Structure 1
Amino acid sequence: MSETEQTPTYDLDAYLDRIGWKGERRADLETLRGVHLAHALSLPFENLDPVLGRAPSLAPADLMAKMIHGRRGGYCYEHNTLLRLALEAFGFRVTPLAARVVVGAATPESRPRTHAMLRVEVPGEPLPYLADVGFGAPGALLLPVPLVTGTEFEGAGRRHRLVRLPHDGPLELWELQVHEAGGGAGEGDWAGQYAFTLEPFAASDFEVFNWFVGTHPRSPFTSRPYLQRTTADRHLALDGARFTETRADGTVTEHTLTEEAEARRVVTEEFGIEVPEGLRLLG
């Protein structure tokens, strides 16, 4: 048993029970894919602590209390910290990375590095993998992908690829892209999600990122609720008062929530999240 598994602040058994994963505890590709998918389909994305004006704690004990033993979700720092602890307990070598979200950005450099994800080395595999269970978007990764360009990856109904971007710095700049479906069979286009280098980041870096994203008045996460949940047959999103359901067949239903009671019911029943005390979802 590893040191991570033994720590009193992190309970691997409880984490695996919460995500419903019952496979063998070993450091191989099957385990990485299975745990990654189970986490992505079990724990919702949410920013309710920042809406209350506070950055969530990234301490393992607090993450366990909130997301594993409590009826809450979290955002990228929280999700990928929990995944990292589990993977390290299995024996994987994991390196935290940081990215610039490029969705809606003119250039990658116009955004700070605020997104967290993981580089995972898998014993016996020639390439490391990009793992990320904390990107709050309909096209987020459900399965990890190898760190290689020129290859398209399809998994759990989503298509991704990695490309290299022009870059003046000493390190190569990667971009994760998702294929967005068009109007007919085979149609659509590739859209960037985030850009990153393979420079490792430390826990102290993410504490700063977390404080900025969770408390700065210009952060998009402090102004309104933003929730995402993915299941085997649908994706749910709540952006302010706009509730969107996207079915596996591509059918999209949108509804604007107008009553606080209705919003609380949606968050509780559809997302499985307990609304924190003192928070009004609709302002």
Structure 2
Amino acid sequence: MHLQAYLDRIGYKGPIRPDAGVLRAVHRAHAETIPYENLDVQLETPVTRACKAAFDKIVTRRRGGWCYEMNGLLGWALEEIGFKVERLAGAVARDERGDDAVGNHLVLIVQLDEPWLADAGFGDGLIEAIPLRMGAFSNGPFHCRLEDIGGGWMRYHNDPRGGGPTFDFNRSVSDEVLLEKACGLLQTHEESIFVLNAVVQRWLPGQHISMRGRVFTALSSDNKIVDLIDSADAYMQALEERFGLTLPEATSLWPKICARHEVVFGEPSQP
């Protein structure tokens, strides 16, 4: 694992020092270069939380990853630069699922003169790291906010147009056991959204693009484009041209993707 190889992967050519400007720039370069994707889960290829495995997958093989890989790699890189990083057992949709959700998301806190939230693993979450201050903030074309919900818990509210609506985190909850358990469960349980749905997402300057099964969506501040992917070839072409992923084995997912589309939407021709 070499820091320069990671920086080359994300196209970052700026200074290497632990300050706010570098933190924001590295986070943005990661978010706008590396796609969020769960295709290994779809392919039933085991995914671990080991940082070396994430480095090999994302840097060496030029893949993307989900939160445990994306934030695991980002956290490692930030520490290599000299930042102090906390890894928290976050909880997506804890407002609905309760504390059973704790560990289903890895969240990073970076300590500078004040704590900063860093999270490149929420799909359509943060483009840049932000100071850990409660209130509304702009996140590219999205409008998000942080809320203190008591008991040390804070809640990230995504833009209403985004995917996952919320995740919670608590600086006193950094349980590795919970993170490990959730990582295993989310890639094997039949009701896991990651088992049920193929998802690829990426930030571009001023725009977020995603492909959830057959449905491609592009969101900007004033526009929304939705297209229906109509064939396995078109799906593979979108993976490569829109998300920078060359993954020949993903063509085997097409029948499963189509079957899931019919379950969710009723008619395969109606996204």
Change in Cα spacing, 1:208 to 1:55, as seen in structure 2 (3 Å) is farther
| Distance in 2 of aligned mates of 1:58 and 1:69 | 17
Inter-CA distance 60–195: structure 2 relative to 1 (3 Å threshold): closer
1:201 aligns with 2:174: yes
Asked if 1:91 corresponds to 2:82, the answer is yes
Distance 1:107 1:61, change over 3 A: closer
Question: Is the 2:141–2:207 contact (alpha carbons within 8 Å) kept by the matching residues of 1?
Answer: no
TM-score by length of 2: 0.85
* CA drift at 1:100: 1.7
Alpha carbons of 1:219 and 1:179: their partners in 2 closer, same or farther (altered >3 Å)? closer
* 1:147 partner letter: L
Moved more, 154-163 or 218-227: 154-163
Q: Say which of 142, 145, 152 aligns to 1:161.
A: 145
The secondary structure found in structure 2 opposite 1:113 is coil
Q: 1:118–1:131: 8 Å Cα contact kept in structure 2?
A: yes
The one-letter code of the counterpart of 1:81 is G
Distance in 1 between residues matched to 2:101 and 2:196, nearest whole Å? 18
Equivalent positions of 1:60-209 (< 5 A) are 60-102=51-93, 106=96, 108-109=98-99, 111-122=101-112, 125=113, 127-137=114-124, 140-149=125-134, 151-165=135-149, 171-180=151-160, 192-201=165-174, 203-209=176-182
* 1:270 equivalent in structure 2: 242
Is this contact kept in 1: 2:152–2:172, CA < 8 A? no
| CA spacing shift, 1:245–1:256, aligned 2, 3 Å | same
- Give the structure 2 partner of residue 210 of structure 1: 183
Aligned to 2:205: 232
RMSD: 2.3
TM-score (norm 1): 0.81
Determine the C-alpha separation between the residues in 1 that align with 2:175 and 2:155: 21
Counterpart Cα distance in 1 of 2:60 and 2:176? 23
Identity of aligned residues (%): 32
Is the 1:96–1:118 contact (alpha carbons within 8 Å) kept by the matching residues of 2? yes
- For these two proteins, the number of residue pairs brought into alignment is 253
Q: Whole-Å Cα distance in 1 between the matches of residues 83 and 205 of structure 2?
A: 27
Q: List runs of 5+ in structure 1 lacking aligned partners.
A: 1-9, 182-190
The SS at the match of 1:280 is helix
Cα distance in 2 between the residues matched to 1:278 and 1:261: 10
